[in-house]
Amino acid sequence: MTADPRAGGAPTALAQVMAERGLRTDEVAAAARVNPATLHKWSTGRFRPRGPAAERLAATLGEPAERLFPHLAGRTPLRAALDRHGLSVRDLARRIGAHENSVYSWVVGHYQPQPELAERAAAALDVAAAEVFPAIADRLAHARAAVPAAARESRSDLARPAERGEPSRLAAALAERGMTATGLARAVNVTPSTVGKWADGAAPTVEHAEQAAAALGVPAADLFDRVHLDHRGGRAGRLELPLVPDAPTVSQALHTPATGDSDWAERAACANPDLDPETWWPDPTEAAEQARRTCGGCPVLGDCRQAFLDDPQTRRQGADGIWAGLPGRVLLALTRDRQAGRRLASLISPQEATSARLAADPGVTRPAVTQPRTGRHAPGADPAERAAHRPGTDPDRLWPTSGRQGVAR
């Protein structure tokens, strides 16, 4: 509740409505479940209610909240829908498996969500997506037209298992194997509350999804409908990857060895003349399920991956395409993340040098070694040169983010 600087002037709209209907303050307060003194302050204009309380009072009186409280007229449609349902930004973020900061940016109107997330948010609020996100109404209509109704219903159901009163696929797998959320949390090295969020529809990281799938002995696509990329900074940190049954797993896409056959493209699953090549160049908002399922049976997955990663021009121009069963931008982000975090450790381990010993000799601190070892920070030029002196290698191989060549930059 906030003070209204215009208090003391003409009667408020709330006071006028109550007077026209002959309603007493205590009657309205009891029906709207507010304190009579608080309602009196609202009716006199001394204070203004926040959105949820205003919506509750408006519903009691059968009037639009914007008529009773003009200060609410500037709300975004999403903010108004949240207020009507009495939900916070955090509540909506948890229901649809999105980051709280992202949902806040939608609520205040700074950014618009991707169509799939917009549909999830609208379904959680029981409204049409175009109603709460009018700025992207055309994109929403195009996305819905491009996805079969059955597929939309399937993904929507997976995103809201708790609202339907049904267990999620993860919860069902835990119950089937007699494993608790705490047991899975220990196996994956996360908190039990994190496992609970996954069961409610939140997206795990790629690594956590793989670990959970290994612990339960099922494919990750049977547990989660999507994963997010835990990449270090930049726009890649916000990438999400829908999981498609029968498509190559992330591990298969990254680690299947190339055959080295120069004619690999002729043996690729996508070379089938009955398939539309445009299927492998979907709109960035689409899951490209058909293309990724086709890649699941491809005998030259590793060759396809390397053809994309090894050619700088292909990396620049093909980021929107599907390569080795993954979107190009996702494949790039995953490759950079996994390469950068392991370079230093792989060079230290064969020489049996601990981070403390490596830091002691060249005169660099232990954090300067351990942080690049985990891929969190790249050291400055001088410490990098001194640390490189001990293993006997070039610093470009130790810290690829400061290197001059290669995919990991």
Judged against a pLDDT cut of 80, whether residue 264 lies above it is answered with: yes
Residue 301 lies in a domain: yes
CATH assignment at residue 214? 1.10.260.40
Residues 6+ apart with CB under 8 A from 178: none
Indicate if 187 and 256 belong to the same structural domain: no
Is there a domain that residue 118 lies in?
A: yes
Alpha helices by DSSP H, listed for 243-362, are 250-255, 264-267, 289-295, 301-309, 312-317, 328-348, 355-360
CB 322 within 8 Å of CB 331: no
**pLDDT at residue 338 in the model:** 57
The answer to whether residue 59 is domain-embedded is: yes
Tell me how far apart the alpha carbons of residues 285 and 117 are, in angstroms, rounded to a whole number: 10
The parent domain of residue 69 ranges over 2-74
Based on the domain organization, do 151 and 86 belong to the same domain?
Answer: yes
Cα within 13 Å of Cα(397), Cβ side: 10
Token pair recorded at residue 144: 């819905």
- Whether 407 is in a domain gets the answer no
Task: Say yes or no to pLDDT of 28 above 70.
Answer: yes
Alpha-carbon gap, residue 66 to 16, rounded angstroms: 14
pLDDT tens for each residue of 359-397: 444 444 444 444 444 444 444 444 444 444 444 444 444
Asked whether residue 292 falls in the same domain as residue 372, the answer is no
| Number of domains present in the structure of the chain | 5
* Whether residue 217 is found in the same domain as residue 238: no
Helices (H), 128-228: 129-132, 137-146, 149-159, 169-176, 181-188, 192-199, 206-216
Q: Within 10 Å of residue 403's Cβ, how many Cβ atoms?
A: 17
Residues 174 and 140 in one domain: no
Mean pLDDT across the chain: 75
What are 50-53's contacts with CB under 8 Å, separation 24+?
50/1, 50/2, 50/83, 51/75, 51/79, 51/80, 51/82, 51/83, 52/83, 52/86, 53/1
Asked if pLDDT for residue 47 goes beyond 60, the answer is yes
Please check whether residues 238 and 322 belong to one and the same domain. Answer: yes
Residue 408 falls inside a structural domain: no
**234, exposed or middle or buried, with CB in 10 Å at 0-12, 13-18, 19+?**
exposed
pLDDT given for residue 282 in this prediction: 80
Among the ranges given (167-171, 216-220, 242-246, 341-345), the one the predictor scored with the smallest mean pLDDT: 341-345
- Asked if 242 and 322 count as a contact pair (C-beta separation under 8 A), the reply is no
Do 222 and 140 share a structural domain? Answer: no
Let me know: does 383 contact 368? Beta carbons within 8 Å: yes
pTM of the complete model? 0.44
- Are 173 and 110 in a shared domain? no
pLDDT in tens, 76-129: 999 999 988 888 888 888 888 778 888 888 998 888 888 888 888 988 888 898
Question: Same structural domain for residues 127 and 61?
Answer: no
Out of 133, 159, 185, pick the residue that ends a domain.
Answer: 159
From CA 365, how far away is CA 387, in angstroms rounded?
10
Instruction: State the average pLDDT over residues 186-212.
Output: 85
Residues in the chain: 409
Q: Supply the DSSP symbol for 184.
A: H
The whole-number pLDDT of residue 244 equals 86
Of the three residues 226, 244, 272, the one that is the final residue of a domain is 226
Residues 323, 384: one domain?
no
Domain boundary among 118, 141, 159: 159
Same domain, 97 and 130: yes
The closest alpha carbon to 239, from 123, 328, 140, 340, belongs to: 328
Lowest mean pLDDT, pick from 8-12, 158-162, 194-198: 158-162
**Residue 86 and residue 16 share a domain:** no
- For residue 356, pLDDT beyond 70: no
Dihedral sign of CA atoms 36, 42, 48, 52 in order? positive
Amino acid symbol at 169: R
Phi, psi of 149 (to 5 degrees): -60, -40
Structure token pair of residue 20? 């026209």
Asked if residue 36 is part of any domain, the answer here is: yes
Q: Are 224 and 198 in contact (CB under 8 A)?
A: yes
